Amino acid sequence: MQKANIEVWDPALRLFHWLLVASFASSWWSEGRDIRVHVIAGTTMAGLLVFRLIWGVIGTHHARFASFRPSLAEIVRHARHLLNLKGEHYAGHTPIGSIMIYLLLTNLLLIALTGTALAGLQLGTGSLAGITIDFRTETQIALLHAWLVDFTLGLIAIHLAGVIVESLLQQDNLIMAMIHGKKQLRRNAS
């Protein structure tokens, strides 16, 4: 078997990924320290997510959501391979990795929405500035926002562990692939 380097992650997707990492980390770090940084980082994250939703429809092949909709059978097969410590090579996301991407994007969107609501309620800024609701509902939104952040931190930990495990099993550095855009795929020598 030979390995072939193929470009999988386009520059726009890679830039989105690392800017999303930076904006989420900045927003998380600035919570309780600097509300200005928190709001700017959160707003940046929201804008990046809007871009990703658009790019998921019109972007390059592996960026499109349609390219990573795994079936239940694919997910089960992939889980069995993982439990047996066998690596399978996928050009794009693995079936379980696809689920993680959907979970992360959904949670980050919910964080952005609840954060936008809180900015409007508490700071009078953003697209929801001037809305008024009762204190109990505002408190519930704040608690949901915090819970979503904590849940997303857990997802990020699982995501990183999955990237490390898949990198070892596939014998391909998936972190570097998200930097330079190329993955090594095995193919039969002819």
Give average pLDDT by consecutive 10-residue segment, the chain, 190 residues: 78 97 98 95 97 97 93 93 86 92 98 94 79 87 97 98 92 88 64
What pLDDT sits at residue 111? 98
Is CATH 3.30.390.30 the classification given to domain 2-187? no
CA distances from 115 to 25, 39, 123 (A): 15, 8, 11
What pLDDT sits at residue 88? 82
Report which secondary-structure segment, H or E, holds 26.
helix 11-30
Name the H helices within 31-134: 35-58, 72-83, 95-118
Separation between Cα atoms, residue 16 and residue 52, nearest integer Å: 7
- Tokens 């386009």 locate to 10
Read off the amino acid at residue 27: S
What pLDDT sits at residue 48? 98
The tokens for 112 are: 């952005």
- Tokens 């849940």 locate to 151
The tokens for 119 are: 């900015």
First to last CA, the chain: 9
Answer for the pair 45, 21: CB distance below 8 angstroms, yes or no. Answer: no
Report which secondary-structure segment, H or E, holds 183.
strand 182-187
* Long-range CB contact pairs, 28-34, < 8 A, 24+: 28/149, 28/153, 31/149
For the entire predicted model, the pTM comes to 0.90
